Amino acid sequence: MRVHVKLMGTLKSRGADGPLELPDGSTILDLLQQLQILPESVQTCTVNGKFEHDRQRRLQDGDELTLLPPVGGG
C-alpha cells in the first residue's frame, strides 16, 4: 500500500516526505521503524488531518500522515 508522509520540524532531516510504500496491514509504528524514527521523537501524529494517539493503528492505502516532533522553547 502507499501512504503519503509529511515530516515537520527536526524530523524533516529524515528526507522521507512524500509517498511511501508499506506492506498491507502496517501500523504507524511500522512506518516509524521503516523511517528509522524513534517513537519518542514524534510528539503528534495526524492521519488524514485527525489527531491519532494510537501508534498501533493500522494504516490504509492512501492515508496521509503528518508527524511532528516535540516542541521546546522558552
Q: What is the pLDDT of residues 39-61, one digit of tens each?
A: 999 999 999 999 999 999 999 99
Beta bridge partners of 59: none
- 2-68 CATH, one of 3.40.710.10, 3.40.50.10210, 3.10.20.30, 3.40.50.300: 3.10.20.30
| Inter-residue contact 70 to 12 (CB < 8 Å) | no
Domain ranges of the chain: 2-68
Tell me which amino acid residue 20 is: L
Beta bridge partners of 51: 46
Q: What is the pLDDT of residues 9-43, one digit of tens each?
A: 989 887 677 899 999 999 999 999 999 999 999 99
Name the pTM for this structure. 0.89
